Structure 1
């Protein structure tokens, strides 16, 4: 019990220092960006786990047992991530332009209000928490009745969450594609983290033998390629239409750091594609680490320019990330018994799907 208390104290101290360094508004932006990275781990892992459970026999045959175990460990972070998201509700007036702007329509007068915003975010987090706890343990016979509604619910919740929490920060970009792009980035981040967490499984023997690392590299390449394609399409639409507000949204996220992040993301996608020609465990882990860093920085790229009008990394960003990591580590052992009691289906759980 002493370790969680020390971690909580360290996290609160880092948050206090973050507010001291950047002020309340700057600390709010740093906290939101860091929290989105934490949230991406369970929320991004959940749809991959659901789909893998539906095709459990194939996953086991291709050596995915340890990867699924790592993904389920990430899903165990959801209760802590949901609890640490509650401060975002209080930060609404500091983060969102609609807090001070008069509503333009009757629907906006209802939708863009602090109480309704808080109710929606709590509903999103509650839905994700329920899904993560529901799929935190394997199920002997999942079937479509269990998996298909879960994927559909996640798609709806993720789209609305991105619109309410991320897109509303900077209304200069009016893009529905963002609701698909961000969940794809979250799944890529979670899958990359699972690759780094998972134990290496023994190589299959006989006719079913596959190249080491291939079973983990191919899904990572698919997620990275889909993510890069969405970014390219959104960028192409904005620049081909020559819409000044959307162009200014990109200019705020440009600069040396923004262009460097774009080049790094493109390099990771290209190298991952080339690595499929000669896959291996070492190169897969290196690419997973690079993808994890790119997606984590992407959350700051999406959030902080709305408050700073340019993409820069400040000390407050590092302090907020450190604080959230410490607080999540402190909360997880405290919330673990509650999560275990909330999954009655564990009695029917068999071997990992």
Structure 2
């Protein structure tokens, strides 16, 4: 009974999003909401891969529940991939290259709707395969698996960011957008895993640590790296006085955009200060704030390509509800292929 209700709610929310935002506006909103969903498994993937490389240390420092939570997020990948296919197909009207003649021989092949969809399928298939490969608890470090997996994720993430995000508004010519997007995704996924994971008993004796510190440090590193890349990119654009890039940022300004920038800076600064006095409540509060900031960032990147200014509108909220409901329908049907891990199975991997 639950799944039909979710399906009807998702379909109704999608219809209302199209009514309020139009086809093009609803496509942008759905794309942004889908990027938030995609960030959960794809962002959890590199964190889990790195944790496998240092498996014994992770387990000794009480990271079993976090790894189980990250793997639960990775089980969303089949649903996210399947849901992404119609979204990518419907969003092709958002890209300027669909209405412009190609200028080079390569552009005549690369900038075509069929090849765009084919590349999107390849990206999603690669991420799904990686999630399937690393979804189960590990027994021993596997350097032969982790290094190629990180390399493949980096290549796929960079190409995806160029094709799906950067191409929406070509005024920004950024070489670090792919790395920035992947860092934001990992920060979002780690924050979500922190909120979902059970609290583990802290080690005692020689291995005793401050409660919450094991989860706070990775979150602070991800937030710090993400904030630094945003700052450097904005500094280069404004200091070089590049008109097109400045226009890209101006479209994402306004009161909402500036408020998001201020909130992001506050969250990143508080995360650094929290290392002076860590605690479980502080870590969860920062994780919730980071999750909110990164989710809004996906709309900040996508929706101004069809609007004059960044703003959260009813179509965005309805699209987010539609994507969440439809993912809730697809996930139980597809998650079995991943063999979704439980905390008990994760403990048995010691």
TM-score bracket for this pair, using the shorter chain length:
over 0.9
Q: What do residues 63-111 of structure 1 show as CA deviations (whole Å, max 9, x unaligned)?
A: 1000000000000000000011011232244210000011111111110
Q: What displacement does 1:350 show?
A: 8.3
| Secondary structure at the counterpart of residue 309 of structure 1 | coil
Per-residue Cα deviation, 1:288-308 (whole angstroms, up to 9, x for no partner):
000000000000000000110
The answer (yes or no) to whether the contact 2:64–2:347 under 8 Å persists in 1 is no
CA contact (8 A) 1:45 1:74 kept: yes
The 5-angstrom pairing of residues 38-49 of structure 1 reads 38-49=37-48
Please name the residue that 2:244 is paired with: 245
Between the aligned partners of 2:106 and 2:193, the Cα distance in structure 1 is: 41
- The residue number in structure 1 matching 2:136 is 137
How far did 1:198 drift? 0.3
Residue 348 of structure 2 is aligned to residue 351 of structure 1? yes
Match of 1:89 in 2: 88
Deviation of residue 13 (structure 1)? 1.2
**Scaled by the length of structure 1, what TM-score is found?**
0.96
Q: In the TM superposition, what are the counterparts of 1:1-353 in structure 2 within 5 Å?
A: 2-340=1-339, 351-352=348-349
Deviation string for 1:14-39 (max 9, x for gaps)? 11111111110010010000000000
In structure 2, C-alpha distance between the alignment counterparts of 1:216 and 1:338, rounded to whole Å: 29
Query: How many corresponding residue pairs?
Result: 347
Query: Which structure 2 residue ranges, 5 or more long, are not aligned?
Result: none
**Per the alignment, in what secondary structure is the counterpart of residue 171 of structure 1?**
coil
**CA distance, structure 2, for counterparts of residue 85 and residue 13 of structure 1:** 18
| Worse overlay, 263-272 or 141-150 | 141-150
Cα displacement (A) at 1:351: 3.5
Q: Secondary structure at the match of 1:102?
A: coil
Tell me the TM-score normalized by structure 2.
Answer: 0.96
